Amino acid sequence: MAPGTPYSWKDARWQLPSFNVLELAPKRSRVLVCVPVINEGERIARQLVKMTPVSAELDVVIADGGSTDGSLSEEHLRSRGVRGLLTKTGPGKLSAQMRMAMAWGLEQGYEGFVFIDGNDKDDPAAIPGFAREILAGWDHIQGSRYVPGGRAINTPASRHWGVKLLHSPLISLAARRRYTDTTNGFRGYSARFLSDPRVQPFRDVFVAYELHYYLAIRAARLKFKVKEMPVTREYPVGEKTPTKISPIRGNWRILKTLLHAAFVGYNPPPAP
């Protein structure tokens, strides 16, 4: 059984997966750091150690997709200063995890969110900078390895060229502004942007990677304040690449989602 208690959100218009909440500490900060994970094992343990300075300054919540590897024990999370554990019990993958974290955070009164993957590929030292920029008025911040100050370390060639030649150009075309690293999950969002009725991120159409692509496009098209910030992403040497994307079926699904986001879109229906 997932830890915590079932959560009942207040806004009946939101479509969210069912999830449980284990609250470990009271709210302290204006920005919430959200870490989506599923069965990350030692990777999330190492990352939380690196995030110790962050959790001393900002609230951190783990958005778990239903891990079964024992990597998210309450004792361990408390020792690393984590504020809460959200455990998805309903359907969906990454976008569903993002929806539950955003919804819980909005109802807790946070003014913004920083998302960072929980597979220990990203340097969390950039998180406080994202938080400061959100509080300074930016609405969508895309972390990028490819802007000045960013670092791409040991990036597989297929990932590098897929981002450079396909993914970023298509998202940029749809957004009508240039993005350089659109597969990067290191991102920041303002509560103002997520709460805008023209955005409506709390819809069941967002299951896997759709929400990443949609929010990048929608923020730019609606003229919210959008920027990229440098981050470091390092792939391990001598071990399997941390990913939940299968080589054939997973990449095909990503391509279909990318094409749909770029040429069809996930915009909400217009208000009556």
Residue-wise pLDDT tens digits, 29-53? 999 999 999 999 999 999 999 999 9
Residue 55 confidence (pLDDT) above 80: yes
Contact 66, 91 (CB under 8 A): no
Structural domains of the chain ordered from first start: 16-263 (3.90.550.10)
Give pTM, 2 decimals: 0.94
Which pLDDT score is estimated for 1? 45
Alpha carbon 57 to chain centroid, angstroms: 19
Query: Which pLDDT tens digit goes with each residue over 107-132?
Result: 999 999 999 999 999 999 999 999 99
Tokens describing residue 250: 């997973």
Q: Which residue has the higher pLDDT, 241 or 73?
A: 73
Q: Which residues are bridge partners to 233 per DSSP?
A: 122, 152
Which pLDDT score is estimated for 98? 98
Which pLDDT score is estimated for 270? 81
CA-to-CA dists, residue 220 to 102, 204, 224, angstroms: 20, 22, 6
The DSSP 8-state label assigned to residue 60 in this structure reads: E
Residue 205 confidence (pLDDT) above 90: yes
Query: Which pLDDT tens digit goes with each residue over 169-178?
Result: 999 999 999 9
Distance from C-alpha of 123 to C-alpha of 233, rounded to nearest angstrom: 7
CA-to-CA dists, residue 53 to 119, 165, 204, 251, 270, angstroms: 18, 36, 35, 35, 43
Residue 246 confidence (pLDDT) above 60: no
What's the average model confidence in pLDDT over 206-228?
97
- 143: nearest Cα among 99, 182, 194: 182
Which pLDDT score is estimated for 182? 96
